[in-house]
Amino acid sequence: MALTRREFISGTAAGAAGLVVGGVVGKVVGGGGEDSAATTGGTVTNVSSDITAIAEARGLEPGDIAKAVKTFVPGGKPNLDEFYVFSSGGHSGQLMVMGVPSMRILKIIGVFTPESWQGWGYGSESDAIFKGGTTTNGGAVSPSRPTLTWADTHHPALSETNGEYDGRWVYIQDRANGRIAMVDLRDFKTKQIYDVPNLQSSHGGCFVTPNSEYVHISTKTPTLRPGVDPTTALENFADSFRGYSTFLALNPQTGRFDIDRSFQVELPPYTQDLADAGKLLSNGWVFIGSYNTEMAYGGNLEGNPPIEVGASKADFDYLHMVNWKKAEEVVGSRSVMQNGIRVIPLDVAVEEGILYLAPEPRSPHGADVSPSGRYIVVGGKLDPHVTIYDIEMIQKAIEAEDFEARDQFGVPILRFDSVVSGRVEVGAGPLHTQFDDKGYGYTSLFLESAVAKYSLGAPDFSPEESYKLVDKVPVHYNIGHLVAMEGDTVKPAGKYVIALNKWSIDRYAGIGTLNPQNFQLVDLTGEKMEVLSDTPIGMAEPHYVQAIRADRIKSWDVYPPGTDQITMEPSTHAIAAGAERIERNGDTVEVYMSVQRSNFKPDIIRVKKGERIVLHLTNVEVTPDATHGFAVPRYNISMSIDPGEYARIEFVADVEGAFAMYCTEFCSALHLEMQGWIIVSPEA
């Protein structure tokens, strides 16, 4: 039946398309109606059931079909992704979220680097987070490049309660600049970037203590001590530099850093590497690997050996053991303030029994604590073994003062034999270790490109069964980290390991000279480990990943009305529909704007050149996913206002003209019409 022109405009078509009709916001649902069952998770209609014929035609092996079925997650069945993976975004500065086993990328969260989809760093209050994340805490910043807008993110850490992930917050560190960021998992957005004092760079972070008391982050390359002239600092390395182990206290309600309760322990100027927080039996300790205890500083054009040669001279470097419970007791009376944080000096740390060392063989990397907290597994890049330290032996050795020596800074070095309970020959280039629910360790083998599986010690295995290599699976080139499901907690889930491979030569269709990284999903449920799938990661080099059971995350669908994304509280500047207005105060023009399908109200803002515009935008929608963008051409402004969200932007209208502001999300059939004007007239 044909509609009249009038009927068409006022009714049927508009309703189906989700327009605003008579003030009622229609909801856009599905869109395809009955005939789109195949895309909405209903009965599959068109796919031929002759699986073998399809496989043959595509050149697939029979085994590929089982792998496909094990990992396929059809649209509309999100619960088939049993785990979320939080992956570092490497030098993209971001954090990536994926589902497991589908390995589909769900989101790339803007953290240290501007991200225009989320309006992160393009004009909203997020600009203040970037600015606040660039201080002189970790050393001066070049005045010609005053805001740090990237990071080399390595190690994400999920918050924990009783040693299990609680799905509340995730932290991620910046290896390049010694910073750390906090992301709230209610909305999957960054809330805080903190420039950690005395850390120019960092590696031993982030790692959360079992009840999220602290998040740990320590130096990578040691930092120049305050007041030292850099000219001769390298030649006087031992006196000029120091490392720092940082315990950032977390606010138990908000997850944010509480600097007043935080502290650092000063460390020798070795290159401190990866760390891990103790748990259960080792709760109260943090373990940090190190290399370059030779303190080599290079100078290959000045007649010195290159750093990698100087740093590999000794057979052993030192595993650092930091007793943070002890540090907590003495920090009030025995610390000094240094760049805004309490620091326990190195000699005090030694005197108070806060810091110990133990030898670790041949270019160590990785220091991973087993679920019971008993074992600390260290890989030696130039040694085919993993070395397994036992906290019970460590504690006895400390009590008995069973030291082989002290280093040149006076730190006691425990005897290797009195703290190591086992070594397993796993293969070439062991790096990082993860754990399953049955007492096994899984270590990545960088040189061999494989994952090794082996038994740890008691209580899961008898002495005869302990420390035995039981399986190995080849992965693609150059695996760095790996992650097992909840493999950092006191109750790992087993099931899968993901291998994070650095190279992807020959794996994917050519995309020019820079290839993606390659994540391989490994099945742990069978008798032998088996690679199930490859996923290209075309966004820099992820290092570490944590995997959490999906049902632990309780994220919001929509914000409570008027929520400020930064504070996560309702903003006093948020408005309800109907309260839109423009207020003038001197040369400031404050605009209270509502945002909903399909308009901005007000949609015209008139100012004089040089006036300051403060825009308070409230998305007054309550429909999940009804996000609107807000972009202003030529002003470098891009914002995202999710349903219920309040967002604020302040800028000087310093360019004259008529600027067509518009919504960047295709939000409704009249999305294109969701636009307006900022008119900047010549100065009065």
Residues lying near ligand RUQ in the complex (CB under 6 A): 154-155, 203, 274, 365, 431-432, 480-481, 543
Q: Which is nearer to ligand RUQ, 244 or 409 (CB)?
A: 244
Q: Which is nearer to ligand RUQ, 203 or 242 (CB)?
A: 203
Q: What is the DSSP letter of 444?
A: E
Q: Which does 72 bind (CB under 5 to 8 A by kind): ligand CUA, ligand RUQ, none?
A: none
Q: Which is nearer to ligand RUQ, 272 or 640 (CB)?
A: 272
Q: Which is nearer to ligand CUA, 443 or 618 (CB)?
A: 618
Q: Which does 393 bind (CB under 5 to 8 A by kind): ligand RUQ, ligand CUA, none?
A: none
Distance CA 152, CA 679 (A): 40
CB of 64 to ligand RUQ, least distance (A): 29
Given a contact cutoff of 8 angstroms between Cβ atoms, the answer to whether 111 and 181 are in contact is yes
Q: Which does 671 bind (CB under 5 to 8 A by kind): ligand CUA, ligand RUQ, none?
A: ligand CUA
Q: Which does 431 bind (CB under 5 to 8 A by kind): ligand CUA, ligand RUQ, none?
A: ligand RUQ
Q: Which is nearer to ligand CUA, 151 or 631 (CB)?
A: 631
State the sign of the Cα–Cα–Cα–Cα dihedral 473, 474, 476, 478: positive
CB of 674 to ligand CUA, least distance (A): 4
Q: Which does 279 bind (CB under 5 to 8 A by kind): ligand RUQ, ligand CUA, none?
A: none
Q: Under the phi-then-psi rule, with left for phi > 0, alpha for psi from -120 to 50, and beta for the rest, what region is 302?
A: alpha
Burial 356-389 (b: 16+ CB within 10 A, else e): bbbbbbbbbbbbbbbbbbbbbbbbbbebbbbbbb
Q: Which does 674 bind (CB under 5 to 8 A by kind): ligand RUQ, ligand CUA, none?
A: ligand CUA
Q: Which is nearer to ligand RUQ, 284 or 364 (CB)?
A: 364
CB of 432 to ligand RUQ, least distance (A): 6
Q: CB-based burial of residue 392 (10 Å sphere; 0-12 exposed, 13-18 middle, 19+ buried)? A: middle
Structure tokens at 142: 């070049």
Rounded (5°) CA angle 95-111-204: 70
CB of 437 to ligand RUQ, least distance (A): 24
Distance CA 75, CA 269 (A): 52
Candidate list 70, 608, 665, 677; residue touching ligand CUA; CB under 6 A: 665
Distance CA 206, CA 331 (A): 21
Give every CB contact of residue 142 below 8 A, 6+ residues apart in sequence.
none
Given a contact cutoff of 8 angstroms between Cβ atoms, the answer to whether 187 and 556 are in contact is yes
Edge-first strand order for the sheet with 403-406 is 271-277, 285-291, 316-323, 355-361, 412-414, 403-406
Q: Which is nearer to ligand RUQ, 348 or 431 (CB)?
A: 431
Candidate list 96, 667, 669, 680; residue touching ligand CUA; CB under 6 A: 667
CB of 632 to ligand CUA, least distance (A): 15
Residues present in the chain in total: 684
CB of 560 to ligand RUQ, least distance (A): 37
Q: Which does 663 bind (CB under 5 to 8 A by kind): ligand CUA, ligand RUQ, none?
A: ligand CUA
Distance CA 431, CA 443 (A): 7
CB of 545 to ligand RUQ, least distance (A): 11
Q: Which does 628 bind (CB under 5 to 8 A by kind): ligand RUQ, ligand CUA, none?
A: ligand CUA
Piece of 178-186, 323-331, 514-522, 660-668 that binds ligand CUA (CB under 6 A): 660-668
Candidate list 175, 365, 374, 671; residue touching ligand CUA; CB under 6 A: 671
Spatial CA neighbour of 242 closest among 200, 196, 286, 297? 200
CB of 268 to ligand CUA, least distance (A): 56
Burial 293-307 (b: 16+ CB within 10 A, else e): bbbbbeeeeeeeeeb
Residue with tokens 């059931």: 49
Q: Which is nearer to ligand RUQ, 363 or 421 (CB)?
A: 363
Within 625-654, the residues that bind ligand CUA by CB under 6 A are 628
Comparing every residue's Cβ against ligand RUQ, the nearest one is 480
Q: Which does 667 bind (CB under 5 to 8 A by kind): ligand CUA, ligand RUQ, none?
A: ligand CUA
Based on the shown chain and the rule CB under 6 A, indicate whether residue 495 belongs to the binding site for ligand CUA.
no
Q: Which is nearer to ligand RUQ, 155 or 320 (CB)?
A: 155
Q: Which does 374 bind (CB under 5 to 8 A by kind): ligand RUQ, ligand CUA, none?
A: none
Given a contact cutoff of 8 angstroms between Cβ atoms, the answer to whether 381 and 364 are in contact is yes
List the beta bridge partners of residue 523: 496, 530
Residue with tokens 């130096």: 219
Give every CB contact of residue 218 below 8 A, 6+ residues apart in sequence.
199, 202, 203, 204, 205, 243, 244, 245, 246, 267, 272, 275, 288
Q: Which is nearer to ligand RUQ, 216 or 597 (CB)?
A: 216
Q: Which is nearer to ligand CUA, 286 or 663 (CB)?
A: 663
Cα 183 to Cα 86, 180, 499, 641: the distances in Å are 11, 10, 24, 18
- Residues forming contacts to ligand CUA in the complex (CB under 6 A) are 628, 663, 665-667, 671, 674
